[in-house]
Structure 1
Amino acid sequence: MTELITDMLSKDVAKTLRSRLSQSVQRLWLVCLCISPLAQATDIPLVLTDNSGIYQQFARLISQRTALPTETLLLNQATHEIRQRPIVVAIGTRACEELARHTQSPTRLICTFLPSQAFQHLIDHPQKADTDIERAIDAVFLDQPIQRQVALARLLVPQAKYLGTLYGESSQIYQTEIEEYAQQYGFLTLSDFLREEGNPVQTLTPLLERSQVFLALPDSTLFNRTVTKWLLYISLRNRVPLIGFSESYVDAGALIGVYSTPEQQAQQVAETLSAIRQGRSPVQAFPQYFTLKVNSNTERTLRMRLPSLDQLSQALLQEEMR
């Protein structure tokens, strides 16, 4: 461009233009140097609960799926300036709890990679009395919506009358919602409560003997090797289809599992970031995207023949669109 202007204009004019252009470039360079820290400050912090690989991987997945600039930090690196960014993403329960105490409007905090029970506890026991957390924080939960789980139970066993489940300290908050959706889908509920010191065999045996399909719920009390082992064993012994909440549960012997992969979770977080930039009010959401997996050995043991995973997925999506 400069050579073309030189050819068209006199040497003196060209010299003047080159001098002005040089000065303009210098001023532009100085401006860039001055605003560079500010530009970096607009990066969206992805604040990790700790340095474990699963949190690091999840942060990378979010960064890969959003066009917005991000930076990954540990919780102890989240300075006052970081917490005042326009948008902050907390990955994990402890990061959400800590940042919720210190983040103030107009900063938008997104809590992700945490179960809905943990977020409910944060709502029930707020650290800032003047904050309405439900109206101030976005969230993307790990656990599946109850409707999706109960609808899946009905699709698996259309003739079933009794839906069983076991509650623990943290999962008992699901009870009312499970009973409501069970009634909607034509089930009668059978349930019991297992304390941490309780006997899982004595609790599970009569419950599974009467159940025709069973929901396993995420719970810090119930999700341990002993309880999981007995739940899988007794459900198979009584030929009761067991619906798990993770891929590992299916691999261990549950008939089917409904869960969201880290990639699906990260996609929803990326879409949440875009929605916030477009002015959306805070929303706490269960996973929009999900995966189904069947244990074919358990399917044979139970002498069941399930619809294809695509058919089940489409049927669940249609239920949720009603």
Structure 2
Amino acid sequence: MSALFGARFWRRCLLLASLALAMPAWSAEILLTAAEDGPGVQAFAQALREQRPADSVTFKALPDMPAPGQLPGSTRLILLDLPSLDWRLQDTQGPATLVLRISRLQARERLGNHVPAKISLLWSDPPVDRQLRLIANILPQARRIGVLYGSDSEFLLPELRQHAAALGLEIVAQHWDNINDSRPLLSLFKNSDVLLGLDDPQLYNPKTVKNLLLSSYARQLPLIGPNAGFVRAGSLASTYSDQADWLNVLDRLLDRPQAGWPRSLYPDHFKVVGNPQVARSLGIEQVDETAVATRLAEGEKHP
């Protein structure tokens, strides 16, 4: 009997050991929040669950959230919109937080030049250096890069000029403070080879899109950016990151200790979108989206 009992005991020990080895070393509590629930939010949360099956991924609408300081410090908090960022900023306590899909202008409006501790910003607007390299790839003859800017986006100009100089390009900047006045546009068009749109909603919005695009067509001047949506409306091309790219970034960050999260980050995974009809109307070769994206990715440096 003792021999039989001993054999059963060791078989159970082996079974428990094999189960322990099969289980993940650790799992994370991942909490997503936004002001409103909806199909898009639920689809994103479900995609993250499928990507990280060992973790507990939960979505909770902002009205149902406690104060940030009441959340466990081990929680990996992901904010999906600006109202949730405003909620998080009300409390200096709380877990490390990833702010997803926020633009440089939106962050500056809320944070100025200071990113609070425990906050990591994942930028939604295309990085200006990537957009400039896109221009160099698809329009190699272009040297003078026209840029409209407003009071909200002026802070991007020094960075733009620095990256442009490294590529042998010149930034021709034009302030546009009255979208009903086309004279700044005409002045910029006369002195530029191509236009680079900044993700500034005061300048690039449904009210200005018709004037901007018709003016660029009339001058046979391509417009790059400011985002994928504007390409569908009539600009030539842009870089962008989609949901799969964001999930890739999150997957990498969530594998790191929270103390190692960067203060801000552009997705290193991205795609290129072009508008073939616009290319034809401007007499420009159609953008090979996959090939251009590959060349741009190969030229980027990552830590």
Q: TM-score normalized by structure 2?
A: 0.82
- Greater relative contact order (CA < 8 Å, ≥ 6 in sequence): 1
Post-superposition offset of 1:53: 4.1
Please, which of 213, 216, 228 is the counterpart of residue 235 of structure 1?
216
- Name the residue aligned to 2:124: 142
- Name the residue aligned to 1:97: 86
Are 1:312 and 2:287 counterparts? Answer: no
SS at 2:256's partner residue? helix
Post-superposition offset of 1:111: 0.8
Please, which of 181, 184, 197 is the counterpart of residue 163 of structure 2?
181
- Name the residue aligned to 2:30: 44
- Name the residue aligned to 1:71: 58
Identity across the alignment (%): 21
SS at 2:207's partner residue? helix
The number of residue pairs the alignment matches comes to 283
Post-superposition offset of 1:319: 2.3
- Name the residue aligned to 1:254: 235
Structure 2 distance, partners of 1:249, 1:223, is: 8
C-alpha contact (below 8 Å) 1:136/1:282 kept by paired residues: no
Are 1:295 and 2:270 counterparts? Answer: no
Are 1:160 and 2:142 counterparts? Answer: yes
SS at 2:203's partner residue? coil
Structure 2 distance, partners of 1:145, 1:275, is: 24
Deviations 1:22-55 (A, max 9, x none): xxxxxxxxxxxxxxxxxx9x63210113234444
Structure 2 distance, partners of 1:203, 1:214, is: 13
Larger Rg: 1
Aligned ranges for residues 277-288 of structure 1 at < 5 Å? 280-288=260-268
Please, which of 215, 225, 228 is the counterpart of residue 206 of structure 2?
225
SS at 1:192's partner residue? strand
Instruction: Let me know the Cα RMSD of the aligned residues.
Output: 2.9
Structure 1 distance, partners of 2:58, 2:289, is: 37
Please, which of 182, 194, 197 is the counterpart of residue 216 of structure 1?
197
- Name the residue aligned to 1:28: none
Per the alignment, do residues 111 and 47 of structure 1 end up closer, same or farther by CA in structure 2, a change over 3 Å counting?
Answer: same
Structure 1 distance, partners of 2:36, 2:3, is: 62
Per the alignment, do residues 315 and 92 of structure 1 end up closer, same or farther by CA in structure 2, a change over 3 Å counting?
Answer: same
SS at 1:222's partner residue? coil
Deviations 1:127-146 (A, max 9, x none): xxxxx61x422221111111
Post-superposition offset of 1:223: 2.6
Structure 2 distance, partners of 1:103, 1:66, is: 29
Structure 1 distance, partners of 2:113, 2:38, is: 27
SS at 1:250's partner residue? helix
Post-superposition offset of 1:296: 0.7
C-alpha contact (below 8 Å) 1:100/1:109 kept by paired residues: no
Deviations 1:195-224 (A, max 9, x none): 2x4425222122123211111111121232
Runs of 5+ consecutive residues of structure 1 not aligned to the other structure = 22-39, 127-131
Q: TM-score normalized by structure 1?
A: 0.78
